Amino acid sequence: LGSSLRGTLNDLRGKSRIDEDDVGEVVKQIQRALLQADVEVGLVMELSDSIEQRALSEDPPAGTTARDHVLKIVYEELVELVGESTELPLEPQTIMLAGLQGSGKTTTAAKMAWWFSKKGLRPAVIQTDTFRPGAYDQAKQMCERAEVEFYGDPDGDDPVEIAREGMEATEDADVRIVDTAGRHALEEDLIDEIEEIEATVAPDVSLLVLDAAIGQGAKDQAREFERSVGIEGVVITKLDGTAKGGGALTAVNETDSSIAFLGTGETVKDIERFEPSGFISRLLGMGDLKQLSERVERAMQETQEEDDDWDPEDLLEGQFTLKDMQRQMEAMNRMGPLDQVMDMIPGLGGGMMDQLPDDAMDVTQDRMRRFDIAMDSMTDEELENPRTIGRSRVERISRGSGVEEETIRELLEQHKMMEQTLKQFQGMGEGDMQRMMKK
Ligand code: GDP
Ligand code: MG
């Protein structure tokens, strides 16, 4: 467990400032998960660099622990990596699907039509695949199941001609989804054909359909389709299988586009609009990081709302009292039971939780509770000025609160550590002031 993300993050817990080794360890765990999900090495490295840089240069906001701050950065950078979903206004438009054979285009066409019909629009699917035997029947059947308009020609042999006729035949539809043929590989005639269809139907949006298991083959495909027809978005299919779809991010990067939809099964209803946080969770095989990120934010806000007279900036002036420290701990507490928070952290799936002894997670929270109780037995003067708490006062506080002397000494130790860290900021602040005055 020493090198696990949980262990790493637990070590960060008591720290108000974290160093390069700490961040390096967190980043290593995330890299491992992303590489396992087929995310390209180059993208993983870029992400690592951003996380490292931010975690080491940005200070945790008041009321946030260093650990939660790092997690928030990790989440934000992951959102940056996967991107926001492709914009698809709910208005009349033509969408063309491109991709290799078997990637899931025909299925996706019917699914998307179903999706648009549920949004109150009138969609139609135009099937132009004359290459694959049975393509017409397959598309027609799926569109019947989706209860959407369908155009195809079972006897046609010219895809471009079918596309042209299809556009005329579906004039009354709002959203026209043009399904195209694929090949096993990127052959010249496939590219020629799709370029001609593109010129004929003039799509508002072209989407590249990719199997979640694509891996690094995504790069060449994406480049080729981008060059020939231009790609505005990506659809990742078969996410109901074991593949995590990380390879598709390569295509997103290569085409400078974004993800539009996810396919999660074989029926017409198995389609989801892409949403970063859910996809990230899937990618890392973990609970919801977004929730944690939001909790951190909420805890910070509540801390500030509750203590109107308390300005985090005060930490940089004057003294850091035990009361200040208590506020920070309260903010941490508000994020919920520690093991629940831990559950939301990447790579700490249920299995790993079970391997821990039951009380392992309680220690820190329990310790915080005892700190609290001990502080209740302190005088205001002691809270404001913990340095006055000598051995005899520790004894008195221990007797009064029932908290062990050892724990009270730990509390004072932790306070001293945080105070020292803050002093460093204060020093920096003055230096900056002086430099500015000289100008
Ligand atoms: P196309 O050649 O690109 O048109 O691909 P198809 O739409 O014909 O799909 C190829 C196969 O993948 C079919 O057997 C589909 O049922 C299956 N398929 C497509 N999308 C999904 C999905 O999201 N999940 C699963 N499990 N199967 C899918
Ligand atoms: Mg097809």
Query: Does residue 173 form part of some domain?
Result: yes
Total number of domains in the chain:
2
**Three-state secondary-structure class, residue 207:** strand
Residue 398 CB neighbour total at 10 angstroms:
18
Helix or strand holding residue 263 (H, E): strand 258-263
Clarify whether residues 112 and 193 are in a common domain.
yes
- Strands (E) across 107-240 are located at 123-127, 149-151, 175-179, 205-211, 233-237
Spans in the chain with pLDDT lower than 50: 1-3, 308, 310, 312, 337-363, 428-439
Predicted pLDDT at 267? 95
Clarify whether residues 170 and 34 are in a common domain.
no
Range of the domain at 42: 5-80+284-433
CA nearest ligand 1 atom 10, residue? 102
Spell out the alpha helix ranges (H) of 155-202.
159-169, 188-201
Predicted pLDDT at 358? 41
Q: Point out the ligand 1 atom lying closest to the alpha carbon of residue 264.
A: 23
Predicted pLDDT at 347? 38
Helix or strand holding residue 97 (H, E): strand 93-98
Query: Does residue 307 form part of some domain?
Result: yes
CA nearest ligand 1 atom 27, residue? 266
Q: Point out the ligand 1 atom lying closest to the alpha carbon of residue 263.
A: 23
Cβ burial of 436 (10 Å; 0-12, 13-18, 19+) is exposed
Q: For residue 333, what are its two tokens?
A: 């507490």
Gyration radius from the chain CA atoms: 29
Q: 99 CB under 6 A from ligand 1?
A: yes
Angle formed at CA 391 by CA 386 and CA 395, multiple of 5 degrees: 100
Predicted pLDDT at 76? 87
Annotated binding site: 99-106, 179-183, 237-240
> What ipTM does this complex have?
0.99
Q: 107 CB under 6 A from ligand 1?
A: yes
Clarify whether residues 100 and 61 are in a common domain.
no
Structure confidence by residue, pLDDT tens digits, 170-227: 999 999 999 999 887 778 888 899 999 999 999 999 999 999 999 888 999 999 999 9
Q: Point out the ligand 1 atom lying closest to the alpha carbon of residue 262.
A: 23
Which residue among 266, 268, 273 has the greatest number of ligand 1 atoms within 8 angstroms of its CB, and so is best to mutate?
266
The label of the residue with tokens 């090949």 reads 183
Q: Point out the ligand 1 atom lying closest to the alpha carbon of residue 107.
A: 7
State which of 221, 254, 274 marks the end of a domain: 274
Packing angle of the helix pair 41-57, 20-36 (nearest 10 deg): 150
Predicted pLDDT at 70? 83
Query: Does residue 438 form part of some domain?
Result: no
CA distance 342 to 356: 12
Supply the CATH number for residue 417's domain.
Answer: 1.10.260.30
CA of 120 to the centre of ligand 1 (A): 25
Query: Does residue 87 form part of some domain?
Result: no
Query: Does residue 209 form part of some domain?
Result: yes
Predicted pLDDT at 148? 97
CA of 36 to the centre of ligand 1 (A): 23
CA of 105 to the centre of ligand 2 (A): 5
Predicted pLDDT at 330? 64
Beta bridge partners of 209: 235
Query: Does residue 259 form part of some domain?
Result: yes
State which of 210, 239, 274 marks the end of a domain: 274
Clarify whether residues 106 and 252 are in a common domain.
yes
Clarify whether residues 266 and 141 are in a common domain.
yes
Predicted pLDDT at 281? 77
CA nearest ligand 1 atom 6, residue? 104
CA of 97 to the centre of ligand 2 (A): 10
Q: 265 CB under 6 A from ligand 1?
A: yes
Residue 202 CB neighbour total at 10 angstroms:
9
